[in-house]
Copies of this chain bind each other. A is one copy, B any other.
Amino acid sequence: MVLLESVRRGSVSPDEAAERLATLPARDLVFARVDVHRELRQGAPEAVLADGKTPEQAVAIVTALLDGGAGSVLVTRAEADVREAVQARVPGAEADERARAVWVARSLPPARGRVVMVSAGTSDGPVLHEARIRAQLLGTEVVVHEDVGVAGLHRLGPVLPDLEHADCVVVVAGMDAALASVVGGIAAAPVIGVPTSVGYGAADGGRTALNAMLCSCAAGVAVVGIDDGFGAGTIAARIARGRER
Q: Which residues of A contact B (CB under 8 A)?
A: 18, 31-33, 35, 37-38, 41-44, 47, 52-53, 113, 120-123, 125, 146-147, 149-155, 165-167, 175-178, 180-182, 184-192, 197, 199-208, 210-228, 230-232, 234-235, 238-239, 242-244
User: Shortest beta-carbon distance, A13 to chain B, in Å?
Assistant: 13
Copy count, this protein chain: 8
Q: Are A221 and B212 in contact (CB under 8 A)?
A: no
User: Shortest beta-carbon distance, A116 to chain B, in Å?
Assistant: 12
User: Which of B153, B155, B238 contacts A220 (CB under 8 A)?
Assistant: B238
14 contacts between A and B (CB under 8 A): A35-B155, A113-B243, A151-B218, A176-B176, A176-B212, A190-B235, A199-B215, A200-B227, A202-B211, A204-B211, A214-B226, A219-B230, A219-B234, A223-B224
User: Shortest beta-carbon distance, A163 to chain B, in Å?
Assistant: 11
Beyond the given pairs A113-B243, A220-B238, 7 more chain A to chain B contacts, judged by CB atoms under 8 angstroms and listed by A's residue number, are: A35-B155, A149-B185, A178-B181, A178-B216, A200-B227, A201-B214, A207-B211
A152-B244 Cα distance, complex, nearest whole Å: 21
CB-CB under 8 A from A221, the residues of chain B are: 224, 231, 235
Q: Are A176 and B216 in contact (CB under 8 A)?
A: yes
Q: Are B44 and A220 in contact (CB under 8 A)?
A: yes
User: Shortest beta-carbon distance, A9 to chain B, in Å?
Assistant: 18
User: Which of B191, B199, B210, B235 contacts A202 (CB under 8 A)?
Assistant: B210
A153-B227 Cα distance, complex, nearest whole Å: 27
CB-CB under 8 A from A199, the residues of chain B are: 215
CB-CB under 8 A from A166, the residues of chain B are: 243
Least CB separation from A32: chain B residue: B122
A119-B121 Cα distance, complex, nearest whole Å: 26
9 closest cross-chain pairs (CB), A and B: A201-B226, A151-B185, A178-B178, A202-B214, A222-B222, A33-B147, A208-B211, A176-B212, A178-B181
